[in-house]
Structure 1
Amino acid sequence: MDKHELAAFLRNRRDRLQPEDVGLTSGPRRRTAGLRREEVAVLAHISTEYYVRLEQGRAPRPSAEVLAGIVGALRLTDAEADHVHLLAGTPLNHTGWHRRDVRPSVLALLERLPQTAGFVMSAAFEVLAWNDLAVALMEDFAARDPEARNLARRAFLTDSPEEGPLYGISDVTEFRQNVVRELRSAVARYPSDPAMTNLIDDLRDGSAEFARLWERNDVQPARMLTKTFRHPIVREITLNCDELHIDDGDQHLVLYSAAKGSPAAESLAFLDALGTESLNSRRR
């Protein structure tokens, strides 16, 4: 274990992060750039005292689980995570936390997509980022807390008539099967991630259908080429569905589009022209 190099690396990466990068607010009394040590400790689920000692080069060798928490808290890339394990003299553990931060270039791409509804989804099916047309087609994700933006929870744990069955999609059964298959693979990649394991526990306890599908041990998701929505304004609309994997974040960019000149394209253009505020008022 190279205590001094590990300490320097952790300090450097902590200084590079802003509170907003990890979902925190800066507050009026923050005098230095970067996260505070106690904030990293909370995000990593370790004691502040131990993390301070790590940055001072005085702590004993951290376990793989502790490093996984720190890697997630500091939003390290795979290469940076490997380097941290090397400095700590701890066996590499690629099964830490799934990532929730979205690359700025992907966020910019979402905003530039012409007449295409798009959103970014984590390995745990949480919607992380979206564009205005995705709001018009599906819902106002910003109005919900992160747990309520989880499509796996929406698929299996939402029963109220007001919520509706997954935005009126026609292939709810196939979607649920794919959710289970992909979560089966995801939990194998992140067995120590409490967000992932708690999600699985909640779904198994709250949905008999999820529990039944989970016991089948299927892991190969089916490809979905189109998706049909029953929308409250434009009625039924069938769209092309493209799902692109973002390797460095283990996330998916989901895109809904339509062939130029088709009725579906005209419906998307109509939703785009209405704007999200007008749509929300009409839905109410």
Structure 2
Amino acid sequence: MGHYAAVWDHRAAIEVTKDWNGIDQVVLRNPQGASVRVSLHGGQVTSWRNDRGEELLFTSSKAIFKPPKAMRGGIPICFPQFGNCGSLEQHGFARNRIWTIDDNPPPLPPNDSHGKSFVDLVLKPSEEDLKCWPHSFEFCLRVSLAADGHLVLISRVRNINGKPFSFSFAYHTYLSVSDISEVRIEGLETIDYLDNLRQRQRFTEQGDALTFESEVDQVYLSSPNVIAVLDHERKRTYVIRKEGLPDTVVWNPWERKSKMMVDFGDEEYKQMLCVDGAAIEKPITLKPGEEWTGRLELAVVPSSFCSEDLDPLRCP
């Protein structure tokens, strides 16, 4: 195994195929058998499986896999806005555009390249995009799968405009869970949030952990960089680490809203939870030539796992 890891080449672990719409998608694999699938439609991660082949991201059984709409599930990229305001389409246009593969990406740092397969995608604005959002930018997205199965997304947005511009951003991450009523989130206690179900009023999280018994649509502000999503029934925990993404969105549509969405099953809210690394309250502003980086790392560990990154006081 040691020799195999030593000669591991990220390119050998990449496969480019076409989906049923004829759009390229990239499949990354690691030596242990985990995999990630990312579509050039939206630069969207559509699948993340562990080394046992279990799917870790949620995708609706009613998802519409046809451009120009983003697919309901996986990890859509929300840029240059999150939500619905102004002349732009909801959550911005990046998730509805065709990205390209960068054939000459910058190398991974030596300490970051061991056993890691990755792909670099690029989005540049079209003439149509510039009409509705008149700012020249280059958006580079690196999706990588580590030897330990961790999924890492690194977004770099560069201003190649003649004047400053601002944007908001989110990795709209649909996690697959056994039963939403059996899930709790740790790491957001005492954090202020904006409640989108109550006219974006500001509240402070009171509970020891977030649990779910009704619709939730909240933006936690200046949230910790490590958050845990515990799934009791599956005895596993998603550990979310983020950099350059001060906010965290928590969303579940619950029963009434599920029935109103054409690309979402009536009962599917029970099997999903969105927990997004985001920059929403204070938009990112870039001067000409400046670049912003937002990094998200997703890991799955047994729920008995205890990390000082989360809260050492909770460890037995």
TM-score (norm 1): 0.26
Please tell me whether Structure 1 or Structure 2 has the larger radius of gyration of its CA atoms. 1
Quick check: which one's strand share is greater? 2
